[in-house]
Amino acid sequence: MENADWTTTILTGLIPGGQLYSRYKYYNLSFDRLYLIPFTFLPLLNLPISILWKFNKFAPGKGTGVPINPLSGWLFIPILAFTLLPQLLEKVELESSYITAISIIVTMIALMIPGTIFLSSDKCKTEINKSFMSNMGKALSTGITAYGIACLGGIALGYSANDLMSNIIISAFYILSYFIVMIFNQLEPNICNTGIFGSTIDNLSLMAAACIILYRYISNKDS
């Protein structure tokens, strides 16, 4: 595959998550070298690794077939839901239970949209359109998992509140986590040929993400 140029090498070395994009785009999906992935979130350690890759000090892995890049403009729908919905609901005169229900329903629908569009566009490696409901279930599972990872990143940085700044930070984490989840879900066992909510690992990730989201909600409710 084409090696990354110096501009790309520096940018992907400085931007959190950049190493993952380089693995996908330039180094033949080298997810077999999992021990280097944690450094993608630490620019001071990620940049030297990116430079070493530029000099071919790390041999690109064979990968398992290059997946389709899942990032698209549809991601703006859940991002808008994260950032603007809480601000809008604060101005609505409704009981808290109704506000909570509306927030959950709108957020779940927003989380489903990017994955549903991706799956329904026949972009996976195997046949996927046997069941639209199955695609929606998998899209919801991956969306919640990505959102849970994003919330965990926000909590780790101290942005666990439901204010605008925290939601912007979590939205940034969501883009990265969605990319990671969708790329890994295209590997074997991939998102296209598993159960309605994915494989066993997908289900465990879904439950862990739901717990993180619930924790963020409860901590904000009590504050």
User: Tell me, what's the pLDDT at 148?
Assistant: 92
Name the pTM for this structure.
Answer: 0.71
Q: Which residues, including other chains, have CB under 8 Å from residue 189's CB and lie 6 or more apart?
A: 199
The CA-atom distances, in angstroms, between 45 and each of 22, 37, 40, 51 are 15, 11, 8, 11
52's enclosing H/E stretch is: helix 43-54
The CA-atom distances, in angstroms, between 62 and each of 26, 28, 39 are 12, 6, 21
pLDDT in tens, 19-34: 777 777 777 666 656 6
Q: Which portions of the chain are predicted below pLDDT 50?
A: 1, 125-129, 189
- DSSP for residue 163: S
Per-domain residue ranges of the chain: 6-54, 73-222
Burial of 127 (0-12, 13-18, 19+ CB in 10 A): exposed
Q: Exposure pattern of 10-44 as b/e (b: 16+ CB <10 Å)?
A: bbbbeeebbbbbbbbbbbbbbbeeeebeebbbeee
Residue with tokens 């969501």: 174
